[in-house]
Chains A and B, each alone.
Chain A
Amino acid sequence: MSNLTYLLVGFFLPLFPFSIGFNVLFTRVNHWPLRLALLLVWPQIGLALLARADVPPPHWILTWAMATALLYSLRLLAMRELGGWIAFLATAAWGLLWLLAQAPAAGGLSLHALWFSLPLVMLALLGASLERRFGGAYTGIYQGLAQGMPRFSAILVVTVLAAVATPPAPSFFSMLSAFLNATPMLMLGLAALWLLWTWAAARLLQGLIVGPGNCRSQADLKPSGAWVYTAALVALIALGAALPGGLA
């Protein structure tokens, strides 16, 4: 595979500065079904292109991917808009697919991409729900969702944790796979990445969930909606444990 093709893949399994393309596109698209589609399809295009290569990606690409992931993870800390936050996390997470592709048994890459994308899809749905209620999904403006919207908050917390690869979410097992196949330097990078994700998640939740709260007038998730989300999360965790977790 030529370097040019790798650069083309770098648009979809984002490598900086090609990653800007996805991020601009995602934040400009205000139609939420399109956003969901982007989250699901975008990495799969990259993986399809990558599948045409017979050899694992070269090491310089892996370093580049890791640097991109770290850069976006760092930016994640300061991002207050949920849409942008999802885009940054997706960029950082999909960069790890390069590491997974380098593994000797690189099969199931599409599934790994899915494990990273699915929690983000749910998060995007929750973000759309926040935008409907408040006009925007932004941290630090309307805090204290836990008091006014307890069901929504509970779902949001679990989804965010799943998105940042907290065990036993499937993305955790994907992360673990990447970790096991990485060089010591990349391992350090992965550990830093994970730290940044969890830190960013804590900041995001703190800016939305806790505090005195001024959102009492907003309706909480309906119980039926909460059940649907709960079922989806349980299914996600069960699948994660069964497939990448190896319990199946």
Chain B
Amino acid sequence: MSLSLGQSLKIRAMVHVAAEPIPFFWPMRTFIHHNPLHGLEHLPFTEAVQQGERLFHARGFLPRSAYQQYLAEGKVDRERLVARVAAFAAARTAIPEIDLERWLLAALDDARETTCPARSLAGAADVRAALDAAPATAAPLAAEEIRQRLRAELLGDRPVYEAVDALYGTDIGSELDELVIKSCLDFFDEGQSVWGMPEREQGFFTAWRDVARRNVRLFLRGLHINRILDQADTAEGIIAHVMHTLGIEQDRWMECFTRELARLHGWAGFIRWRASAKHYYWNQHYPGDLVDFMAIRLTLALALLNERGRRNMSCTATAIAEAIETRHEEVYLRQQFHGGHLIPAMAAKVERALALGEKRRIGRVFDEYCACQRADEAARQAHRLRVLAQAAGQESELSGLAAEDLGRLLQTLRVFEQHEGSLWLDAMEAHAMGRLLQGIDLRTPPTREKRPFVQALFCIDTRSERIRRQLEGVGDYQTFGIAGFFGVPVSFMDIGKGSETHLCPVLLTPKNLVPEISAATTQDEPAVTALEKAMHELKESVLTPFVTVEAIGLLFGFDMIGKTLIPQSYNRWRKRLHPDKPPTRLLLDKLSREQADSIVRAVQRAVIVKAVEQEFGLEPERITDAMIRELRETALGHQQSSELVACELGLDREGEGAFVDRLRTEYRINPSFAQVQLERLGRIGFSVDEQTLFVGQALRAIGLDKGFSRFILLVGHGSSSENNPYESALDCGACGGNHGLVSARVLAQMANKAEVRRRLQRQGIDIPDDAWFVPALHNTTTDELKLYDLELLPPSHLVYLDRLRNGLAAASRLCAAERMPTLETPGSQTRDPSDAYRRALRNAMDWSQVRPEWGLSRNAYFVIGRRHLTQGLALEGRAFLHSYDYRLDSRQRLLATILTGPLVVGQWINMEHYFSTVDNESFGSGSKVYHNVAGRFGVMTGNLSDLRTGLPSQTVLKDGRPFHEPLRLITLIEAPFEHALRAIESVVAVKHLVENGWLKMLVVDPQSAQVSLFEDGQWRHRPLASATHPNPLLEPIA
């Protein structure tokens, strides 16, 4: 099949659009928290959750029992819940004698399971009969009703093989997933496999096709891939061929593609992200996109269907549709039998009838089965209704209810139960909002007489809330919250590495490159490092298991014993074997044209020296500067051939010409590459203007424009743990899932520059000469606070260093004492700061520890305002705290920036936690215990599964119950309402998040002491003075 360009483009576009609901999945080296339903954020929250539930076969809210537990613990605002239930009941038509509100509340309070299934063969008359213990109704089911149900469940956007599996129990879907995953692992591998897939440069589909054509295992399994691949040359052609063969109408292709992609949404999300990441090394070298993925998937699906379809089975959409029309009894029984819905008492009879395949017998069994199923479902519903009526105190009313009214009651309960999750969530959020509003302090803090000993800027991360509170408690420390990249998007090149790391939220792409340069002399590689490299290579070798397993196994055995029995001492000893990282500087200033030219020249000279050494074996003393200059000038085309060089190297004219050509092509000594190098050098560093802008912006954003302390700490954060593929999930999200130290060093270096300070002074920010910005790192696993670049500290400050270190150490220990009990079992908890700190250190080094820290679990709030607003409130590490002073932001630019970056990232984090908690298997990544690293970019459960995209159960669950309380992010802005509203309206993404209910937005006006909440599509305003009420938001509007 050959497609026209237009048809090919149409298919590409369809796949592209179909993939929109599939969230990106970033490689786990830099774990990016994301909303699993990001592609549905254009919809209102509840609607998107419904779609997500259907698409990912997942649950969007916790089960009722979990919310009932929260209610019992006082974490649900009952008043709000009752109000919501009343509103729901009021919107339904009244049923005589039935107090609907009481029934619904009884369902929420007392019933453990839902009363009405989403689909039931039993009608109201059947349930009435079951309630009266009367014989079941004899009215037969309409065949069309069954057909409709079958069409809805088997056709539509459901992949054909899924329908075949549902009818014949063939398990094609699982087998297909397995084959596709293996293909993905082969192609997308990033160095984990010793032997790579051949021809990967050709692209995913082409490389796979070449291998699949010669894959004997597939052939032996009866999968005749070649017959399908022969039908078209391109991925788009294969897609069109398969869809036509399966009898799927073209107007349904897109929804079918979405369902196909959603089956392995982890892999699809990774490929989708990868295809869009133009700078990603692996994508540049081995390109692959979702069209390739879809073509491979559909080829294998068709091959499997062909292989299984030999035995009189309906294996195309058309054949299934026809079977539903002509043999609905058989199709229905098949679906019940293989779908695991069968009534056990009838199972053997149904199996026999299907095995014999006699139409009349099947018809008889179908009638009997349906009657049995109706009676069973009616009895079940009747029982639950009775329980509910008893809880509502309306048993007699239920007895007297006519069948028609009973039908309405059942329908109301069905609708209510489908929506009850959002009611529970709303009531939980009301409680959480009430708690926050009760605790905030709107009074203006008294003016300080003297400047604080230290000012510390922490990341807005929820884990900073605890350490900030403790630090403020141990001394004269003033803290601020700012996004952990300190507002400076940096592309960082680590010492000894050739790749760049983006240190900023993924929403941004940094323009400026900052390389790290060693400030020490070069050192020889120590023996232990060389030994480790050798071990690593041996471990990866195919032959190792046969020849050296005993020796290597023993060494690894020692390593294992050390890590297991004495993790702290062993790790300390191992660290001593490695040299410390040498002192480094960041190349932060822009290079002038002359400097850049000089660097390029130096590099070219060095390359030519190496080339001459290698090609002619000359000793260094025979390689003169003049020779190199001549060669360089010749290669760059600045002069004709040089006789001096030819003579020195012993070459004739032709030989010299050939060498110069090699210099141009192989060693890239040519003008165009020199230009590229110059452009690359142009990315290095920031101009003084840029540096002034970033420093000024950071300080103004947090309201720090005067009263600078002697020490201004810029505290980035990161985590440390062993044997943890999710380590980067615990690092700084604002730094793109990396440690925040480099960003702190960058801003400190900028802010300490005299020229930058002079320019800031002209802008009204006067940083005194004795104020020094010091970078620091908060290790969130151990709570250690460590200062960096102290060698740059002015001598005048050294005298205060001990006091500072003591303060930081005290805060660390107190923070560990507050945090560690949440990680430990009740019997083993400690409140002693030293003991807690020691245990936290062990957690970071224990390779068997699946939960080194809770990370951002339990996040619930995002507060944008001055520190004193929440300073008196222990928020238990649940709040993102962004410092903001609206008085310094008359044009709302700073607020808009906060909303655009940090708030959106916070919302992603929040949603990632929300969905990983409500359905850890579908949206989260299940237990870490079974995880294996896949291709060096993700994890799988077991040896073969979809890429696990969300958070592991150890991050959000404790003892099988949610540790993270799944709430939408409650955002509070401290500013006059109009001021905040203008900023919200100006950021379209945030405006939509608020309007569609993806986060709860509160604006607290310090001038009028009024709180505004966006709910039910409008802003509602209430006075905050009513804080004596348990929940100020529930106070009647003044």
Contact = CB atoms under 8 A, between A and B. Distances in A.
Interface of A: 27, 80-81, 83-84, 131, 134-138, 140-143
A155 B51 CA distance: 43
A138 B342 CA distance: 10
Contacts of B346: 136
Given A27-B348, A143-B340, 8 more contacts: A81-B351, A83-B348, A84-B348, A136-B343, A136-B345, A136-B348, A138-B348, A140-B340
A12 B359 CA distance: 36
Nearest to A139: B347
B344 interface: yes
B58 to A, nearest CB: 14
Contact of A135 (B340, B344, B351): B344
Contacts of A140: 340
Nearest to B351: A80
Top 4 closest A-B pairs, CB basis?
A: A136-B344, A135-B345, A138-B347, A136-B345
Most A CB contacts (10 A, CB to CB) among B340, B346, B347 go to: B347
A75 to B, nearest CB: 12
Nearest to A142: B344
A134 B342 CA distance: 11
A225 B353 CA distance: 37
Contacts of B344: 131, 134-138, 141-142
A81 B348 contact: yes
- Size category of the B interface is under 10
9 contacts: A80-B347, A80-B351, A84-B348, A131-B344, A134-B344, A136-B344, A136-B347, A138-B347, A141-B344
Contacts of B351: 80-81
A230 to B, nearest CB: 26
B348 A135 contact: no
Interface in B335-355: 340, 342-348, 351
A134 B343 CA distance: 8
Contacts of A27: 348
A137 B347 CA distance: 9
A35 to B, nearest CB: 15
B347 A141 contact: yes
Contacts of A134: 344
Choose among B342, B344, B351 the residue with the greatest number of A CB atoms under 10 Å from its CB: B344
Output the residue of A80, A141, A143 with the most chain B CB within 10 A. A141
Contacts of B345: 131, 135-136
A138 to B, nearest CB: 4
A49 B346 CA distance: 38
Nearest to B112: A217
A126 B346 CA distance: 19
A28 to B, nearest CB: 11
Contacts of B347: 80-81, 136, 138, 141
A141 B348 contact: no
A208 to B, nearest CB: 11
A143 B341 CA distance: 11
B375 to A, nearest CB: 11
Interface string B344-382: 111110010000000000000000000000000000000
A135 B347 CA distance: 10
Nearest to B344: A136
A83 B347 CA distance: 12
A83 B348 CA distance: 10
Contacts of A81: 347-348, 351
Contacts of A141: 340, 342, 344, 347
A137 B342 CA distance: 12
B377 to A, nearest CB: 13
A142 B344 CA distance: 8
Nearest to B343: A135
Contacts of B343: 135-136
B182 to A, nearest CB: 24
Nearest to A217: B113
A129 to B, nearest CB: 13
A134 B345 CA distance: 8
A5 to B, nearest CB: 34
A138 B343 CA distance: 10
Contacts of B340: 140-141, 143
Contacts of A80: 347, 351
A62 B296 CA distance: 53
A138 B345 CA distance: 8
A42 to B, nearest CB: 21
A106 B773 CA distance: 96
Nearest to B347: A138
A80 B342 CA distance: 13
Contacts of A135: 343-345
Nearest to B346: A136
A194 to B, nearest CB: 27
A134 B346 CA distance: 11
A136 B342 CA distance: 10
A120 to B, nearest CB: 18
Nearest to B921: A212
A143 B340 CA distance: 9
B347 to A, nearest CB: 4
A199 to B, nearest CB: 18
Contacts of A83: 348
A36 B345 CA distance: 20
Nearest to B113: A217
A83 B340 CA distance: 19
A145 to B, nearest CB: 13
Contacts of A142: 344
B383 to A, nearest CB: 11
Nearest to B169: A140
A90 to B, nearest CB: 17
A84 B348 CA distance: 9
A81 B346 CA distance: 11
Interface in B457-487: none
A48 to B, nearest CB: 32
A135 B346 CA distance: 8
Nearest to A27: B348
B388 to A, nearest CB: 16
Contacts of A143: 340
A143 B347 CA distance: 14
Nearest to A137: B344
Interface string B378-401: 000000000000000000000000
A137 B344 CA distance: 7
A83 B346 CA distance: 13
Contacts of B348: 27, 81, 83-84, 136, 138
A233 B343 CA distance: 31
Contacts of A84: 348
B919 to A, nearest CB: 13
Contacts of A131: 344-345
A190 B346 CA distance: 35
B384 to A, nearest CB: 11
Nearest to A135: B345
B374 to A, nearest CB: 15
A247 B346 CA distance: 46
A80 B351 CA distance: 9
A104 B479 CA distance: 94
A192 to B, nearest CB: 24
B409 to A, nearest CB: 23
Nearest to A84: B348
A84 B347 CA distance: 12
A11 B1 CA distance: 63
A134 B348 CA distance: 14
A203 B346 CA distance: 21
A87 to B, nearest CB: 12
Contacts of B342: 138, 141
A137 to B, nearest CB: 7
Interface in B109-149: none
Counting chain B CB atoms within 10 Å of each CB, the highest count among A131, A137, A138, A140 belongs to A138
Nearest to A83: B348
Interface in B299-344: 340, 342-344
A93 B346 CA distance: 28
Contacts of A137: 344
